[in-house]
Amino acid sequence: MPAMADETETKISDDGEEGIVEKDAKVLNFLDSLDSYLILMDTLSSTLRQGCLELASARLSMGASRINSSLLDLKPHSAATTLEIDHLEAGSRMEQVHFRLCKRASSASPQSTPKEEAQGKKQENNGSPRTVDDQAQRERLKSLSMFGMLVSPKLRAAQRSYETTLDTIIEIANIRTSLLHAYNQVVEDMKITPPND
């Protein structure tokens, strides 16, 4: 009989240690997510600041008459970049989602037919990385063409900075989702009361 009691106590002790290790892992996961979130927020701030400085420098070199809001084409355009949301299965009650940028070529204009759009997508899927990069470069040049044929290198740099900013914002959204998920797991563990000795 005493041997059975010793085995039971050992099992409870092992279960308790496993529970502590699991809780520690969840807390570490939460702290890692928080650290990544703060780093990305700092990166976003510095990239936005850099983009604003580059835009101001381009406006100074090209002149205020060549870079202003009156030059913007306000006609409806198809979105070159869209946001897609994937719903992930989460162990807790809170649903976890993942955000993704979908960058498409401008060849799919609002007037293009579904057949033309399908051909464009097929070319995108079969294209080499160089072709995709070339398409992205053409997109950039097309969007800058409203400011004239010869634009300041600073204006191109500002465009790249804001593109990077968009990618960073999506990363922040994904980290924030995982951060909230990790936080909820830690809170759920704290609500569980330990068994009485």
Residue 182 contacts residue 92 (beta carbons within 8 Å): no
Residue 106 contacts residue 80 (beta carbons within 8 Å): yes
Q: Which residue has the higher pLDDT, 154 or 80?
A: 154
Strands (DSSP E) along 62-153, which ranges?
81-88, 96-103
* Residue-level pLDDT at 80: 75
- Sequence-separated (6 or more) residues with CB below 8 Å from residue 131: 123
* Residue-level pLDDT at 8: 43
Residue 179 contacts residue 33 (beta carbons within 8 Å): yes
**d(Cα 39, Cα 30) in Å, to the nearest integer?**
14
Structure tokens given for 77: 């355009």
- The pLDDT-based confidence of 91 (bands split at 50, 70, 90) is low
End-to-end CA distance of the chain: 20
What pTM was estimated for this model as a whole? 0.66
- The pLDDT-based confidence of 4 (bands split at 50, 70, 90) is very low
**d(Cα 191, Cα 27) in Å, to the nearest integer?**
14
Residue 10 has pLDDT above 60, yes or no: no
Q: CA distances (Å), 79 to each of 36, 83, 123, in order? A: 30, 10, 19
Q: Indicate if the alpha-carbon torsion angle 85, 89, 91, 95 is positive or negative.
A: positive
Reported as a single tens digit per residue, the pLDDT across 15-66 is 567 778 888 888 898 999 999 999 999 999 999 999 999 999 998 988 888 8
DSSP 80: S
> Which whole number is the average pLDDT over 66-90?
79
* Ramachandran angles phi, psi of 74, nearest 5°: -95, 10
* Residue-level pLDDT at 48: 95
93, with CB counted inside 10 A (0-12, 13-18, 19+), is: exposed
Residue length of the chain: 197
Domain coordinates in residue numbering, the chain: 13-66+87-101+149-191
Q: Which residue has the higher pLDDT, 53 or 139?
A: 53
